[in-house]
């Protein structure tokens, strides 16, 4: 299939791996921001193909995972509000908040509907004029334009019962917070492909300029990732960090100006609460028009927040720990019985380690007993 087969071509991949081995001399720490990249890296065993000079880290690029419990609790509280239809993508259903989940709220009578696009949510609003339809707006710059488009359409049609709870997050501010904290050393960043298709590659320019960090925007096939790694090694070995694009078929330096215009029209920057990282100014998107803002339309009182006992998702999202450091991994926490969001989302680091393993799917528990999750698979 065009645009897929050539990016899974083993000869191309072998050539890139050989190039990386030839060029890599220094010890470098490369982070992939995006959970989709983490999945590709593990699914194709790319870590094992790289020289020992390169250490790969997984970053906070899973939108469901970085959603703080305080925000999840608000969404769950909305699902329990009489008269509300809570519309959401399916990946949010099982994510545990402080004391409940959308799945539980639905089992207890909340009207939670799975939708496949924001236009489905808008259709629900048209079909239920006496109910408020609240769409759970979660995601990075990739999903924000579709939510913006639905708000603009609702405004055009005068659909005032359509609301959005926006816990959208933007990528450059969290990258600045992560590298600026000094908690984790990153020499090179594999920048997210889908996010960059919207924002372009220019917003990463501060990373080489202010922090000496190399950047390469990557697509989601193994050759895309290896090409990005090769670009990073070339930049960093030459002492010339910059922003490269290894995903020219999807990303332009200026991004998608139409999508960016819609985001700008519908949302204003505001603070956002990131799991494990905290509140980062101007890293969220707030609705400009209060008629469509669920947080302003309803008095939401979700109660005190709690983190799942023993879960270290926050540390994993900051790349200071891995799922293998979590004592609940595989023993208690599995995709079937997830304790934290990094195990629920298909792009969560814990789910990726679970499915593909650090050293392969047959990873065993330290005591040598087959892991419970592995046996269940
Ligand atoms: S394995 Fe489960 S409990 Fe541990 S950090 Fe991951 S999601 Fe949290």
**Alpha carbon of 375 to those of 25, 150, 370: distances in Å?**
40, 44, 7
Which domain does 260 fall in, by range? 1-311
Note the pLDDT tens digit of each residue in 34-81: 999 999 999 999 999 999 999 999 999 999 999 999 999 999 999 999
Q: Is residue 114 assigned to a domain?
A: yes
Given pLDDT bands bounded at 50, 70 and 90, which one contains residue 303? confident
pLDDT of the residue at 11: 87
Q: For 169, which DSSP code?
A: B
Determine the atom of ligand 1 nearest the C-alpha atom of 327: 4
Note the pLDDT tens digit of each residue in 348-369: 999 999 999 864 444 444 333 3
CA of 52 to the centre of ligand 1 (A): 27
CA of 296 to the centre of ligand 1 (A): 33
Mean pLDDT across 315-332: 96
pLDDT of the residue at 362: 41
Tell whether ligand 1 has an atom less than 6 A from the beta carbon of residue 255: no
pLDDT of the residue at 2: 65
Q: DSSP letters of 272-334?
A: EEETTTEEEEEEEEEESSGGGBHHHHS--------PPTT--HHHHHTTSS-GGG-TTBTTTB-
pLDDT of the residue at 357: 81
Percent of the chain with pLDDT over 90: 87
Name the phi and psi angles at 354, rounded to 5. Answer: -65, -45
**Alpha carbon of 75 to those of 19, 58, 103, 160, 304: distances in Å?**
48, 27, 12, 19, 14
Q: Is residue 58 assigned to a domain?
A: yes
First to last CA, the chain: 30
CA of 348 to the centre of ligand 1 (A): 10
pLDDT of the residue at 251: 96
Asked if the model's pLDDT at residue 83 lies above 70, the reply is yes
Atom 3 of ligand 1, residue of closest alpha carbon: 311
CA of 338 to the centre of ligand 1 (A): 7
Q: Is residue 262 assigned to a domain?
A: yes
Q: Is residue 354 assigned to a domain?
A: no
Tell whether ligand 1 has an atom less than 6 A from the beta carbon of residue 350: yes
Note the pLDDT tens digit of each residue in 1-24: 666 777 778 889 999 999 999 999
Tell whether ligand 1 has an atom less than 6 A from the beta carbon of residue 340: yes
Q: Is residue 131 assigned to a domain?
A: yes
Atom 7 of ligand 1, residue of closest alpha carbon: 340
Q: Which two tokens stand for residue 191?
A: 């920048």
Lowest mean pLDDT among 8-12, 26-30, 160-164, 189-193: 8-12
Mean pLDDT across 127-141: 97
pLDDT of the residue at 156: 97
CA of 63 to the centre of ligand 1 (A): 16
Q: Is residue 323 assigned to a domain?
A: no
Mean pLDDT across 313-335: 96
Tell whether ligand 1 has an atom less than 6 A from the beta carbon of residue 342: yes
Q: Is residue 321 assigned to a domain?
A: no
Q: DSSP letters of 73-90?
A: HHHHHHHTSTTEEEEE-G
CA of 357 to the centre of ligand 1 (A): 14
Percent of the chain with pLDDT over 70: 94
Tell whether ligand 1 has an atom less than 6 A from the beta carbon of residue 373: no
Q: Is residue 258 assigned to a domain?
A: yes
pLDDT of the residue at 26: 95
Note the pLDDT tens digit of each residue in 143-165: 999 999 999 999 999 999 999 99
Lowest mean pLDDT among 253-262, 278-287, 354-363: 354-363
Q: For 96, which DSSP code?
A: -
What is the pLDDT of the chain when averaged over all its residues?
92
pLDDT of the residue at 3: 65
Determine the atom of ligand 1 nearest the C-alpha atom of 341: 7
Number of folded domains that form the chain: 1
Tell whether ligand 1 has an atom less than 6 A from the beta carbon of residue 65: no
What's the CATH number where 177 sits?
Answer: 3.40.50.11750
């Amino acid at each position: 299939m065009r645009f897929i087969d050539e990016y899974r071509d083993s000869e191309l991949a072998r050539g890139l791996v050989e190039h990386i081995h030839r060029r890599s001399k220094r010890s470098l720490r490369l982070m992939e921001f995006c959970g989709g990249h983490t999945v590709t890296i593990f699914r194709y065993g790319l870590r094992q193909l790289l020289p020992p000079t390169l250490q790969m880290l997984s970053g906070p690029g899973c939108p469901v995972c970085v959603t703080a419990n305080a925000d999840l609790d608000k969404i769950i509280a909305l699902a329990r509000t009489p008269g509300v239809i809570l519309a959401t993508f399916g990946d949010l259903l099982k994510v545990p908040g402080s004391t409940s989940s959308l799945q539980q709220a639905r089992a207890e009578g909340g009207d939670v509907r799975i939708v496949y696009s924001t236009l489905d949510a808008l259709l629900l609003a048209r079909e239920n004029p006496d109910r408020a339809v609240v769409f759970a707006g979660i995601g990075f710059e990739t999903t924000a334009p579709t939510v913006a488009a639905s708000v603009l359409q609702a405004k055009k049609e005068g659909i005032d019962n359509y609301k959005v709870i926006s816990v959208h997050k933007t990528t450059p501010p969290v990258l600045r917070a992560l590298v600026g904290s000094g908690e984790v050393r990153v020499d090179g960043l594999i920048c997210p492909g889908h996010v960059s298709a919207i924002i372009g590659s220019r917003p990463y320019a501060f990373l080489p300029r202010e922090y000496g960090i190399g950047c390469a925007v990557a697509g989601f096939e193994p050759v895309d990732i290896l090409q990005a790694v090769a670009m990073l090694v070339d930049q960093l070995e030459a002492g010339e960090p910059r922003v490269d694009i290894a995903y020219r078929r999807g990303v332009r330096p200026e991004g998608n100006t139409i999508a960016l215009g819609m985001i700008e029209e519908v949302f204003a920057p505001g603070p956002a609460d990131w799991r494990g990282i905290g509140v980062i100014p101007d890293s969220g998107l707030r609705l400009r028009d209060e008629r469509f803002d669920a947080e302003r339309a309803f008095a939401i009182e979700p109660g005190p927040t709690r983190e799942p006992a023993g879960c270290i998702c926050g540390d994993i999202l900051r790349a200071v720990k891995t799922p293998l450091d979590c004592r609940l991994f595989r023993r208690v926490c599995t995709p079937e019985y997830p304790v934290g969001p990094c195990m629920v989302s298909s792009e969560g680091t814990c789910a990726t380690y679970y499915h593909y393993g650090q050293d392969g799917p047959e990873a065993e528990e330290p005591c040598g007993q087959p892991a419970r999750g592995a046996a269940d698979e």
